[in-house]
A = this chain, B = another copy of it.
Amino acid sequence: MKKIKPRTLSGFMELMPQNQVYFNEMAQRLRESFSLYGFTPLDTPLMEAAEILLAKGGGETEKQVYRLTKGDTDLAVRYELTASLAKYVALHQGSLTFPFRRYEIGKVMRGERAQRGRFREFYQADIDIIGDGKLDIINEAEIPSVIYRSMTALGLRRFVIHVNNRKVLNGFFEILEISNATEAMRAVDKIEKIGEQKLTEHLTTDVGLTHVQSAELIALVTHQGDPFEALDKYRGRNETFDIGMDELSAVARYMSAFGVPDTHFKIDISIARGLDYYTGTVYETFLEDHPEVGSICSGGRYDELAEYYTDRKFPGVGISIGLSRLFYILQEQQMLNPAVLSAPADVLIIPMTEDLSHPISLATQMREAGLRVQLYSEDKKFKSKVAYADKLGIPYVAFLGEDEIKSGQVTVKDMRSGEQTQASAGLIIAGLAEKIKIQRNAPPIAETK
């Protein structure tokens, strides 16, 4: 038979078993974290009618969409989870209860040019809180707490959640009568790279700001210490600004009650988020030791979730984690926790008798105690059987020979220490279950610093 050369498409993440365990553990910990905040899981279809997904339309994204025709249906694969949520809310608005909190961890596809750490098929993990007509500011204040708990659950320690408010920014630009705010903010982003002097030059000559505008803008974004000090002097001059200030204060005020330490939270006036979509609080999250990877968890408040599908107003606030990319970065930085049990089993049972009834019964007993067990019954030399456990990183090997069966004992070898223990099945199982339980609590990520 002519063979087809096996291959996986470039940009499609396909993990080896051990890495898959880490990835799944990360996803699972995100699920648990999101659940603690009352987010319900959704699992929307991977494909939608093209008109639905492309309702927003335009630009680079549309070119990246995977699109196909089946029968006479024009289909598109989702390239983000937001459009699917918007459609879901618009379609099921009559039967949903608002505020509606959902999370979705799912694959999306974008036909980007394949690059290291950029994927064409990848996971996003999104949470959103959707209001019916309006949505209280407390929801915006709660988001940093969800981020903090989620990142901590993964095992991350050295990260900071940067928070800003679009109304503050927009109001500030109105007060200073700066019309090309987007361009100005983009320029400000370069301050660390090019320095204050070059930035002033760029702002005044290329962006078209006056020297006064430029100076005030730079003073604001470079202000050290409490950002409210720098902002307070603009109070009372613009309604949008004042509302934004109240919102930002409320968000900051409740941080510690929400369990977010000061060290992990920062008001950052330079955070704008590219999209015009956001209208209130915005969030970005940076790894302190790896600022070069950019924000690992971002989002914000928006006013119009489903405007392409319905007249009803659905404001919301949400964040998104590029989970495949985050995983890729962490494993590349060698931050996967070696204490994690990434083996497919906790125990390998090696039978030493012809009749397998006893080893099988032992496996059954162990499984009933929650242990993950493989029974090795291939026709191999003893050494190869033990090597199987070794290669897979299975931490314990149990031997069951005639002598053990007669005396009602089991011999277990701890593969790391080499230590062998003999005892009754009951005692062995209880001991292993205890040890494995501890190892299972190891978070997927460990920071070496």
Which of the residues B3, B43, B111, B388 comes within 8 Å of A70, measured between beta carbons?
Answer: B111
Q: How far is the CA of A12 from the CA of B345 in the complex (A)?
A: 35
Q: How far is the CA of A42 from the CA of B301 in the complex (A)?
A: 35
Produce 1/0 per residue, A337-371, CB < 8 A to B. 00000001100000000001110110110011011
Given A6-B87, A136-B379: A37 and B374 within 8 A (CB)? yes
Report yes or no: A375 in contact with B344, Cβ–Cβ below 8 A: no
Report yes or no: B36 in contact with A23, Cβ–Cβ below 8 A: no
Report yes or no: B254 in contact with A356, Cβ–Cβ below 8 A: yes
Report yes or no: B344 in contact with A40, Cβ–Cβ below 8 A: yes
Q: Tell me if A218 counts as interface (CB < 8 A to partner B).
A: no
Q: Tell me if A15 counts as interface (CB < 8 A to partner B).
A: yes
Q: Tell me if A178 counts as interface (CB < 8 A to partner B).
A: no
Report yes or no: B135 in contact with A14, Cβ–Cβ below 8 A: no
Residues of B within 8 A of A357 (CB): 253-254, 257
Which of chain B's residues has its CB closest to A23's CB? B43
Q: How far is the CA of A263 from the CA of B111 in the complex (A)?
A: 52
Report yes or no: A20 in contact with B3, Cβ–Cβ below 8 A: no
Q: How far is the CA of A392 from the CA of B46 in the complex (A)?
A: 27
Produce 1/0 per residue, A41-76, CB < 8 A to B. 111111111011001000000000011101101010
CB distance from A108 to the nearest CB of B (A): 10
Q: How far is the CA of A446 from the CA of B71 in the complex (A)?
A: 40
CB distance from A103 to the nearest CB of B (A): 10
10 shortest interchain CB distances as A-B pairs: A38-B374, A68-B68, A38-B345, A40-B344, A257-B360, A12-B45, A6-B91, A138-B377, A6-B90, A6-B309
